[in-house]
Chains A and B, each alone.
Chain A
Amino acid sequence: MEKLYIVSKYITFIGSILKGFWEHLFCRILGVPVQDARYLQANELCGHVDHDFTKGKAVTFLLCWLPGLMNRVFGYGMIIGGYLGLFYVQAETDKPIFWVYIVMLYLGVSLMCNVAPLYEDALNNWDLLYGKEQNANIVVKILAFLPSVYFLAAAWLEKYAVNLLLCIVAIVVGMVI
């Protein structure tokens, strides 16, 4: 499964590198030490940075949320524009915009396949907020519940490259329909 994960990260290398970069940037902003800043490496840290184990709830939550958010902000325009242009408007292949849509779709998929935190970070976030010995404020718990579930789900999907598979399926469906 790790191989699958690494392959998916290498296929979406632009998004992987950028996600690693955002993670690194926010680690520095939030004061989390980063030991290894190689964003593309053939192990489970591919697309992430090797940072210190976070203990604060806010720091952990933000570190799970912000790097992915950056990729999402960048990726939405690309993936929506590219998908609509290619499969809904159906741009003619002899027009330059067709190739623009192709690039946008690839970059969009690449970015949107790299929006989840590392699975261990997502678990850590969950544990800090909802662990047995944690005493987080109930309002914080409520507000952070859906994002925390999302972190876990997205990290799990990314771990098994399911997100990339879903993107490929969506593209195939778009092509067929």
Chain B
Amino acid sequence: MSNENKEKSFPEGTAEEKELDAVPETEKSSDGEWQWDAAVPETQTEDITVGDLKPTEVTTEVEEKTEEKEKVEETANPDDDGLCVVCGKHRGNSPSDLYCNDCRKKFLRTNYGVGHIILAFVMVFVAAISYFVCASTCELASHLTKAQAYMEDRRYDDAVNECAAISEEVSTLNTGVNSVFSAINKNHSAKDIFSDGNRSLRLVLEAYADTLTIGESQRTTFIQYVENIIGKDELNKASNANIKKVYDFVVEMTDYTSVISAKWQEYIYTDEKTSEVKIKYDEAMAYINTLENDTPAKRSMNEYHKFMTAYYAQKPSAETEAYFENAFKEAGEFSYMYHQSYMALLWETENYDRLIEITDEAVERNVNDTTAHYYAIKANILQGDFDAADARCEEMKNANTEGLDYYSVKAEILRRQGKFEECVNLCKEGIAAGTDAEIYRQQAIAYMLLEDKESALEAAKQSYDISIQNAYAGSQVSLEALNTAALIACICEDNELYEEIVSIFEQQSMTLEEAVQNCIKGEITFEELFMEGTGDV
């Protein structure tokens, strides 16, 4: 029954009201409800008259219901004595199983403590910073995961590019964080707070080790990287076994080369009459034959020096190739270091069959080796195997999706197949993808073959301009671009451009290619020049 009902059932001045008034305050609950267990025995009854005693049904009903409730509570939890666990008073109608209403109210407002509130605020700040650091670290880790996957697929260039992206990301982070610090403290000096991480550096090193070439600068850089990043002591750990193997070979090769090169250089001289660099072939060969050859590195280097001796002596290509082949084989598992030089040599000596074999090896070693793809495609074109060239071209695109070489070599294949319209359209795609002198050159040739001289001249000018800009930027000038532009300018009667290009050649004590000169003289047609034989200038 509710309190409202109880009030209604006790008229003013009744015995119950007087009895309630007589009860000490401590035995009443805060809402005026009876404390049944405590109050009854101490009640003062002297001033209650017989007339006041009017038994009501309601009172009996309240008593009965309270008793029933207590019985139910006792059945539900026999250990519960109904008292507040803190103050020991009866809990009354408190919704808590443990506390009376007073204690409950007090405990609903228990203080947190200033220190705890401060800690919570600090942690909110720390968590915000942590999420920033975490997001940045996840970004780095994502690049790292990609780089690792590329390493497993032998896509070393892609792996190195991902590591480069890490460096870029770290640089951006450091710049941003330093600018924030500078805004807070003007005396703050910039520091590298974030770092690429050892794993990224190690990946670059592993990629370097697996794609290392015979060039002296590359070898020296590799040795420095290993010593700085891993350190000689750490190198002996099992996890560094692969790098150590390459490092040992390269160190031995470099040390040995530094010893023999000094002596070998003595056999090189410049012919005073012709200003040509020559070599005392027999003496140099005799010297090399006296050298140690107890390890693969030494044997390989000896053969390499024989190759260089034969090369300087301008011996027949078969001989120079044979020495290079020996150097390549003697290097054993490190023969990949010769791939780049060997491909260049075989291209020069026009040994296309062996060149294609070596390019296959190089691509197996490093899927991203676009140089190998390029040589293979060119060799296939020169051999007239356009299907193989086309297939290789697609491989090249997969190996380097952002590379522009695909467009120029594919355009060359299309041109050689007589698909001039397709060639022009592909060049347009290539031009949209990026700026490249060779793509414009191929487009210019295709336009000429389509007899669209105006477009051809425009494309040739673009090719020439880009080539010159590249030369100013430090890249090697494309002689093919200059020769082709000169030829097209001459045919299209753009004398200004033609003379400008010729003067550039003259400044360098060079002349236009013989095939170009023959075409200008009318000894061969433009179509013969670009559609037959080597199909290029």
Contact = CB atoms under 8 A, between A and B. Distances in A.
* A in complex with B: yes
Interface of A: 14, 17-18, 20-21, 24-25, 28, 31, 33-35, 37, 39, 52-53, 55, 73-74, 76-78, 80-81, 84-85, 88-92, 95-98, 100-101, 104, 107-108
Chain A CB within 10 Å — which of B130, B194, B198 has the most?
Answer: B130
B515 to A, nearest CB: 55
Chain B CB within 10 Å — which of A89, A90, A101 has the most?
Answer: A89
Contacts of A52: 96-99, 104, 107
9 contacts: A21-B120, A33-B108, A52-B97, A74-B130, A80-B134, A84-B138, A89-B137, A92-B198, A107-B123
B199 A74 contact: no
Binding site secondary structure of chain A: helix
CB-based closest 10 A-B pairs: A81-B134, A33-B107, A89-B197, A77-B131, A90-B198, A95-B195, A77-B134, A77-B130, A74-B127, A78-B130
A53 B134 CA distance: 39
Contact of A91 (B108, B109, B195): B195
A31 B138 contact: no
Contacts of B199: 88-90
A35 B96 CA distance: 12
B504 interface: no
B107 A85 contact: no
B134 A35 contact: no
A41 to B, nearest CB: 13
Contact of A89 (B117, B141, B191): B141
A115 to B, nearest CB: 14
Contact of A37 (B110, B127, B191): B110
Contacts of B112: 21, 24-25, 37
B84 to A, nearest CB: 11
Contact of B86 (A14, A28, A35): A35
A89 B107 contact: no
B107 A80 contact: no
B133 A53 contact: no
B97 A21 contact: no
Contact of A33 (B99, B130, B193): B99
A76 B110 CA distance: 30
Interface string B110-121: 111100110110
A98 to B, nearest CB: 8
Interface string B123-136: 11011001101110
B198 A33 contact: no
Contact of A74 (B108, B123, B200): B123
B113 A92 contact: no
A97 B130 contact: no
Contact of A80 (B138, B192, B197): B138
Contacts of A78: 126-127, 130, 134
A24 B117 CA distance: 11
B414 interface: no
B144 interface: yes
Interface in B179-225: 191-195, 197-200
A55 B123 CA distance: 32
A113 to B, nearest CB: 15
Given A31-B108, A33-B98, 12 more contacts: A21-B119, A33-B99, A55-B97, A74-B130, A81-B130, A81-B134, A81-B137, A85-B197, A89-B200, A90-B199, A92-B197, A95-B193
Nearest to A38: B113
A107 to B, nearest CB: 7
Contacts of A108: 130
B97 A33 contact: no
Contact of B116 (A17, A31, A107): A17
A49 B108 CA distance: 13
A89 B144 contact: yes
Nearest to A20: B116
B409 interface: no
B435 to A, nearest CB: 35
B119 A107 contact: no
A90 B109 CA distance: 48
B451 to A, nearest CB: 59
A24 to B, nearest CB: 6
Nearest to B116: A21
A72 to B, nearest CB: 11
A104 B129 CA distance: 10
